[in-house]
Structure 1
């Protein structure tokens, strides 16, 4: 004999039994959105790692060097207030002075006008104040056209020759006139008159002759082979 199942009668609140709660059916979150957030997180972590690597790598490439803290005119002796140390990324081709040489630099003189903020380079400093004994320093004002196009720099050896107007290059006859050998100490200009002022160091017996020759008429400067 087959028995038929009879459904249980509905339970009522009055019977003291609480019916089971009916949970709402929540829509499933799309997987595409979750993958997008995961990918974004990976990119953020990777980007932070790359940034940290370059930051640390950049710091390791920085070296301590000397820097000028304030303007120092030509010939003035450097004090502890004129230079300090700093960290910079310096290319191998740039000549700088290591920070460990700070004590040695104090007491040296500026070979050129130093400007605050510039890195100290060996050629900018000197332990000798020119002119030395037996030398004289003569300023000579010349037109830029009477100087080498490549320019002059301190330490260059030159010949000073008379060069009247309209005669940029001395002729054979003019070359027979006395020439004075000199060493360039400083070059400045052009001034308000368009002239370059070249400070020349000459033998102590030729200073007056060079000054008189420059006052009499235009001169030109011939650059001798540069010293290596």
Structure 2
């Protein structure tokens, strides 16, 4: 056989078999349709409805606001309230918070501040009083307390105290006082106002109401630096 015939009979390099050259079309995968269960649909609708109801309740709470009276400038203890001291605000008021409503503002104007009022705060009906902090037959005596004499318990208006006479030994001898067995003399009083500690010295001034008969005596004790302030127990207040 000649070389020419051998080349003709030899298969062509890289030629594919006949079966692979005639591949048929590929069918797409069959996807089964998912069946929707009525129970799942009902549960989804219930959750959506519950969420909408919660949002509605929240919006109602936020929208439920109350017009109340506020403090717009500093008011000292015992000072008479005027309309210029008060303002108005609309807030979502917690039921536990007691505040004067705007329609009751006239009932607090003309009353005295029972405590020190600060701007930006809500006005409570318990922060005002119609009574004068110094009653008839009383006198107001300022008592200066050094830092070591100031009680750790905060002094608040209305708190009852004892003003104790503690003269030095030399002062007692000059006054002709004999040391007694009954203890030092004391006078009952009531806190009307207590200032903040003075910068530098730390001295706190306490306005104490006493009877008109005891006022001059207390003032003399203060002048002689022979007075100490003692808090009464809560049972005595």
Q: TM-score, normalised by structure 2?
A: 0.63
Aligned to 1:105: 108
Q: Identify the residue that residue 208 of structure 1 maps to in structure 2.
A: 216
Residues 1:221 and 2:229 aligned together: yes
**Taking structure 1 as reference, are residues 58 and 175 closer, same or farther at Cα in structure 2, changes over 3 Å only?**
farther
Instruction: Please say if 1:118 is aligned against 2:121.
Output: yes
Whole-angstrom distance in 2 between the partners of 1:107 and 1:164: 43
Which deviations, in whole Å up to 9, do the C-alpha atoms of 1:20-62 show, x marking residues without a partner?
A: xxxxxxxxxxxxxxxxxxxxxx9xx9988755542322222x3
Deviation at 1:216, TM superposition (A): 1.3
Q: CA RMSD in A?
A: 3.5
The reply to whether residue 187 of structure 1 matches residue 194 of structure 2 is: yes
Unaligned runs of 5+ in 1: 1-41, 166-171
Q: Which of 42, 49, 69 is matched with 2:72 structurally?
A: 69
User: Which residue matches 1:133?
Assistant: 136
How many angstroms does 1:205 deviate by? 0.8
Separation in 1, partners of 2:207, 2:98? 26
Rate the CA distance shift 1:129–1:80 in 2: closer, same or farther, 3 A.
same
CA contact (8 A) 1:147 1:222 kept: no
Gaps of 5+ in 2: 1-44, 169-178
So what's the TM-score if we normalise by structure 1?
0.65
Instruction: Indicate how the Cα distance of structure 1 residues 79 and 151 shifts in structure 2: closer, same or farther if over 3 A, else same.
Output: closer
Note the 1:1-228 alignment, pairs <5 A.
51=55, 53-60=57-64, 62-163=65-166, 176-192=183-199, 193-226=201-234
Bigger CA radius of gyration: 2
What is the distance in 1 between the residues matched to 2:219 and 2:61? 57
Other structure's SS at 2:210 match: strand
Indicate if the aligned counterparts of 1:155 and 1:184 stay in contact, CA closer than 8 A: yes
CA contact (8 A) 2:166 2:184 kept: no
Maintained 8 Å contact 2:156/2:194 = yes
The separation in 2 between residues aligned to 1:174 and 1:86, in whole angstroms, is 61
State the distance in 2 between where 1:194 and 1:205 align: 31
* Distance (whole Å) between structure 1 residues aligned to residue 68 and residue 181 of structure 2: 51
Deviation at 1:147, TM superposition (A): 3.6
Asked if structure 2 preserves the Cα contact closer than 8 Å seen for 1:84 and 1:102, the reply is no
8 Å CA contact 1:146–1:219 kept in 2: the answer is no
Report what 1:11 is aligned to. none
Change (3 A) 1:144 1:51: farther
